[in-house]
């Protein structure tokens, strides 16, 4: 049997390939930029716009009629929708700053799941060693027996570094807890955070960001224990001889202490202060079925209570801007570490964001190591090689493949019907 192609058959196959390109090319090119051709000739939604969260200064994408963003003095702040993860507006979101006791949100996310509240523990002297001078304390006493739930109330309400030290000891020790917190931060995509002191006490090199702290606060609201503790206004804490004393949440937007008006619908989360960090706050509030998370780091004017008033302004703006702004980024981001770039103290102006579902974010995860190479800004949908070009290539290849198969089948049948000629007819004989 002789198998081969005549020049006529080869030309026909090539013509079919060219026809495929000419037919599919205009159809693919006709698809609007930024859309993905869907079934039955429809088009899917435009791809997400590039995140702006690595750019310095205030970032917002207002629609017509959107309220103006408040002019606040904080070095860094962020407003996000806790349900969707959409960041509505931010200023210097990834600037790395000392977090103070707002880092206790990450501590709780890491340790709460492994220390049941009903466990009772008698505190030892070693567990209270090394508490930093000037630390906020709830009054944990050596030799006293406490339920773990008591200690957690001491963490959330009184920001007690003594309670953190005892819980960290139960979790495997101070350094072990710091390492686990670091791994937890990485698993949530919070790459600005560097943990050295689990209680948030000032330590050289310990930093976080408005973005990361919002990630921690949002994740915490999904844990029923975390959500309950951070929303508690008052509680009783065990003292000596079977007595107890009252403790009040130091988050003034929640408690209304020191003349700060409580914020309607506030549901926590955590405040902090150190001489190096200034006043810091992660707060969440619910209104009309929407929950917002706000981070405010180190206001530069207005005194010690300005952090609450600036958070109030940002929450008011966030609820008023619902549906009137487009997101500037997402809290659902396992991000590649940016390389050095101009215009920002903490990195380049934009970075790719890989979004993940809320259910995946809430589940325990293995640590994710950040990439070290510089990554370019997110390309706008349609830039560079994309689906239209791929459609042209795939269509042409499919038609060409079909043409070759048909030609081969035709050649085999044609040669089988007669005895091949003996001369050099441009074909090779195969026996």
- Alpha carbon 404 to chain centroid distance? 50
270 is annotated as an active-site residue: no
Taking the CA atoms of residue 250, residue 254, residue 255 and residue 257 in that order, the dihedral angle to the nearest 10 degrees is: 70
Contact 50, 377 (CB under 8 A): yes
Strand intervals (E) in 103-184: 120-122, 145-147
Cα angle at 219 between 50 and 252, to 5 degrees? Answer: 105
Enter the tokens of residue 244: 């107890």
Count the neighbouring beta carbons within 10 Å of the beta carbon of residue 417.
7
Contact 109, 220 (CB under 8 A): yes
Conformational region of residue 326, where left means phi above 0, alpha means psi within -120 to 50, and beta covers everything else: beta
The yes-or-no answer on residue 184 being catalytic is: no
Q: Which of 76, 91, 104, 187 is catalytic?
A: 104
145 is catalytic: no
Please tell me the distance from the alpha carbon of residue 259 to that of residue 130, in angstroms, as a whole number: 34
- The Cα–Cα gap between 369 and 103 comes to 20
Q: Which of 159, 187, 208, 330 is catalytic?
A: 159
* Catalytic position from the list 76, 91, 101, 149: 101
Q: How far is CA 234 from CA 158, 248, 254, 295, in A?
A: 10, 5, 10, 23
CB 201 within 8 A of CB 135: yes
The catalytic residues are 101, 104, 159
């Amino acid at each position: 049997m002789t198998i081969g192609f005549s020049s006529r058959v080869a030309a026909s196959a090539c013509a079919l390939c060219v026809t495929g390109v000419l037919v599919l090319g205009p159809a693919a090119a006709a698809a609007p930029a930024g859309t993905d051709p869907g079934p039955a000739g429809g088009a899917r939604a435009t791809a997400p716009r590039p995140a702006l969260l690595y750019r310095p200064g205030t970032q917002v994408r207002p629609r017509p009629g959107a309220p103006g963003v408040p002019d606040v003095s904080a070095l860094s702040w962020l407003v996000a929708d806790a349900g969707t993860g959409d960041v509505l507006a931010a200023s210097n979101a990834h600037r790395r700053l000392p977090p103070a006791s707002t880092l206790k949100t990450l501590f709780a996310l890491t340790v709460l799941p492994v220390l049941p509240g009903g466990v009772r523990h008698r505190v030892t002297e070693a567990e209270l060693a090394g508490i930093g001078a000037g630390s906020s304390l709830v009054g944990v006493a050596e030799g006293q027996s406490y339920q773990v739930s008591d200690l957690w109330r001491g963490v959330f309400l009184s920001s007690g570094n003594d309670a953190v030290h005892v819980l960290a000891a139960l979790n495997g020790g101070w350094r072990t807890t710091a390492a686990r917190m670091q791994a937890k931060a990485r698993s949530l995509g919070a790459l600005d955070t560097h943990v050295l002191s689990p209680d948030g006490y000032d330590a050289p090199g310990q930093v976080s960001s408005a973005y990361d702290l919002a990630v921690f606060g949002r994740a915490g609201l999904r844990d029923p224990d975390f959500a309950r503790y951070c929303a508690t206004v008052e509680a009783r804490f065990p003292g000596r001889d079977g007595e107890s004393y009252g403790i009040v949440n130091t988050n003034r937007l929640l408690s209304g202490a020191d003349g700060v008006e409580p914020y309607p619908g506030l549901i926590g989360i955590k405040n902090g202060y150190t001489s190096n960090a200034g006043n810091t706050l992660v707060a969440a509030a619910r209104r009309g079925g929407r929950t917002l998370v706000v981070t405010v780091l180190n206001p530069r004017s207005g005194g010690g209570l300005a952090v609450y008033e600036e958070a109030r302004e940002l929450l008011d703006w966030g609820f008023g801007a619902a549906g009137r702004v487009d997101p500037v980024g997402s809290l659902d981001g396992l991000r590649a570490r940016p390389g050095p770039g101009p215009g920002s103290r903490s990195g380049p102006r934009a970075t790719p964001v890989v979004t993940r579902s809320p259910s995946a974010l809430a589940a325990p995860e293995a640590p994710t190591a950040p990439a070290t190479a510089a990554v370019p800004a997110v390309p706008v949908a349609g830039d560079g090689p994309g689906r239209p070009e791929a459609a042209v290539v795939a269509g042409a290849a499919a038609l060409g493949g079909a043409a070759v198969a048909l030609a081969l089948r035709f050649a085999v049948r044609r040669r089988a019907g007669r005895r091949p000629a003996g001369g050099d007819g441009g074909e090779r004989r195969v026996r």
